[in-house]
Amino acid sequence: MTQMSQEEIVSNTKTVLQGLEALRVEHLTLISNLTEGSKKDPDKSEIVMKNIENIELGLGEAQVIVVLASHLQNIEAEKQKLRTQVRRLCQENAWLRDELANTQQKLQSSEQTVAQLEEEKKHLEFMASVKKYDDNQENEEQQEKSRSDPVVELFPEDESEERHNMSPTPPNQFANHANAGYEIPARLRTLHNLVIQYASQGRYEVAVPLCKQALEDLERTSGHDHPDVATMLNILALVYRDQNKYKEAANLLNDALAIREKTLGENHPAVAATLNNLAVLYGKRGKYKDAEPLCKRALEIRENVLGKNHPDVAKQLNNLALLCQNQTKYEEVEMYYQRALEIYEMKLGPDDPNVAKTKNNLASCFLKQGKYKEAEILYKQVLTRAHEREFGAINGENKPIWQVAEEREENKLKNRENTPYGEYGGWHKAAKVDSPTVTTTLKNLGALYRRQGKYEAADTLEDCALRSKKEALDLVKQSKVAKILGVSDENRRQRMKDSDSYDEEGKRSQK
């Protein structure tokens, strides 16, 4: 017997139900005839009654089956509806899981970004605090007396301290930049010094008219093509450069260059100085390709006049390296810095400040190329040499600051409360007012450590640099106050002495 489906069972049940209903009607008619007729047959009536009962029982069961089938159909429809809802909920659940996973990834990325930004904020706050002391120190430090043919540095040695607006150039730098290789005649010296003094104070409204007046007088008495005119043009160009009037300054320097080449010769040191000033000006305007040939020509003149191993040649090499570095010519940059370093070490010795400064510049070049190991070696050399000069030979008890910083980095998990920085031999005192390169190296190596994720080591070096700046500034202020008080006491003693002398004269006159 084949298995029937639900629909076939319901259909057959309804057919049976109809047949049973018809059979029941027939039996009722039959029982009515048997009971009402003249011929009564109790046995037949009893049989018919039993059949009727069975028919009614079958009808009841058939009706139950029909009702049950209807109920099952409703249940199946509800079941299908629930299945549809389950499928939709499963899809929504899968979508929510994907959204949750994406949100968790975004959250992790945001947390990492926040952590990185907090570190950068901390570093920037430190650099800002150091910059504040650097700005104060710039006004306090004595400018080192330069040679008769100086070289202008293109940019500050610390990139974080670059200034977009030039501050007034100190007086001795003004004179050196303008007059390198050429002696100022006596007739111009007073006016020349006055212009430089006003320009160095930022009083351009006075300095510029004085320069222009001097130029007119010189051109009227000596003619345009005279070395004195070129010198005054150089001074006025530097004044314009300090005012960010680069176009006017460039025109004046080109005019001065033409005059000096014509009157002094193309290989004169003054020509090299003007070429260098013009290269510096182009460098500050971002015209590195225009500045590079000028700087190379100035280098050639200095090599011919001073010799290839002269310290001023090394300074010119530093300028040329900076120009090439801004053009990402890193191979040439390394070559120029290495040669400058050799000259400084050979002529001035390993302890000359220019040696440390050039190593710092070379390390910055390595840093820009991602050569962290080479940069780290140079920074450590500078700090190690400074430590040896200040505290003597290095041993297990006398460690340079970078070694202390790395030990603190290694032990940061073992010792949460590290020993205060000041207990490491007072190393920060090595970065004094007269050694700004050491402070710069501390900051640069700290920044390198921070890039490598060595935050404890970076904090150690940056704290050391900050301490040195604070102490240096305090020492300068104390010395100035002491000097002022000393002058006041001397003046008071002199006045008392003069008063006593006056009293003695008065007494003698009365007698």
216 and 323 together in one domain: no
396 and 364 together in one domain: no
364 and 379 together in one domain: no
pLDDT at 178 (0 to 100): 54
Nearest-angstrom CA–CA distance, 357 and 461: 18
Q: 212-224: buried (b, 16+ CB within 10 Å) or exposed (e) per residue?
A: eebbeebeeeeee
Nearest-angstrom CA–CA distance, 117 and 309: 47
258 and 342 together in one domain: no
Nearest-angstrom CA–CA distance, 184 and 194: 13
Q: 362-375: buried (b, 16+ CB within 10 Å) or exposed (e) per residue?
A: bbbbbbeeeeeebb
Count up the domains in the chain and report the number. 4
Of 263, 353, 365, 369, the C-alpha closest to 315 is 353
8 Å CB contact between 469 and 439 = yes
In this prediction the pTM is: 0.58
Nearest-angstrom CA–CA distance, 505 and 510: 9
pLDDT at 131 (0 to 100): 62
380 and 361 together in one domain: no
What is the greatest pairwise CA distance in the chain?
195
Last-in-domain residue among 352, 370, 388: 370
- Assigned domain for 29 exists: yes
pLDDT at 130 (0 to 100): 57
Last-in-domain residue among 264, 280, 307: 264
- Assigned domain for 175 exists: no
- Assigned domain for 89 exists: yes
15 and 116 together in one domain: yes
Dihedral pair phi/psi, residue 203, rounded to 5°: -90, 70
366 and 384 together in one domain: no
114 and 201 together in one domain: no
- Assigned domain for 332 exists: yes
Nearest-angstrom CA–CA distance, 210 and 204: 10
What is the CA 353 to chain-centroid distance, rounded? Answer: 27
Gap between the terminal Cα atoms of the chain: 165
Domain extent, residue 468, equals: 375-409+431-484
pLDDT at 374 (0 to 100): 93
Instruction: Output the six-digit token pair for 507.
Output: 């007494």
- Assigned domain for 110 exists: yes
pLDDT at 442 (0 to 100): 87
* CATH number (domain holding residue 386): 1.25.40.10
pLDDT at 185 (0 to 100): 64
Nearest-angstrom CA–CA distance, 257 and 278: 9
- Assigned domain for 72 exists: yes
Last-in-domain residue among 319, 339, 370: 370
Helical spans, DSSP H, in 41-185: 42-140, 171-179
Contacts of 347 (CB under 8 A, 6+ apart): 309, 310, 311, 314
pLDDT in tens, the chain (511 residues): 567 777 777 788 878 878 888 887 887 887 777 777 656 677 777 887 888 888 888 888 888 888 888 888 889 889 999 999 999 999 999 999 999 999 999 999 999 999 888 888 877 776 676 565 555 544 444 333 333 333 444 443 333 333 333 345 555 555 555 555 556 666 667 777 777 788 778 888 888 888 888 888 888 888 999 988 888 898 889 888 888 899 999 999 999 999 999 999 999 999 999 999 999 999 988 999 999 999 999 999 999 999 999 999 999 999 999 999 999 999 999 999 999 999 999 999 988 889 999 999 999 999 889 899 999 999 999 988 888 888 888 888 888 888 888 888 888 776 555 555 444 445 555 444 346 778 888 888 988 888 888 888 888 888 888 876 666 556 556 665 565 555 455 555 555 555 454 444 444 444 4
DSSP 4: P
362 and 381 together in one domain: no
53 and 122 together in one domain: yes
103 and 20 together in one domain: yes
3-state secondary structure 14-40: HHHHHHHHHHHHHHHHHHHHHHHCCCC
Secondary structure (3-state) at 371: coil
Q: How many helices and strands in the chain, by DSSP H and E?
A: 16, 0
Contacts of 167 (CB under 8 A, 6+ apart): 138, 202, 242
Nearest-angstrom CA–CA distance, 287 and 247: 12
What is the CA 502 to chain-centroid distance, rounded? Answer: 67
- Assigned domain for 158 exists: no
345 and 400 together in one domain: no
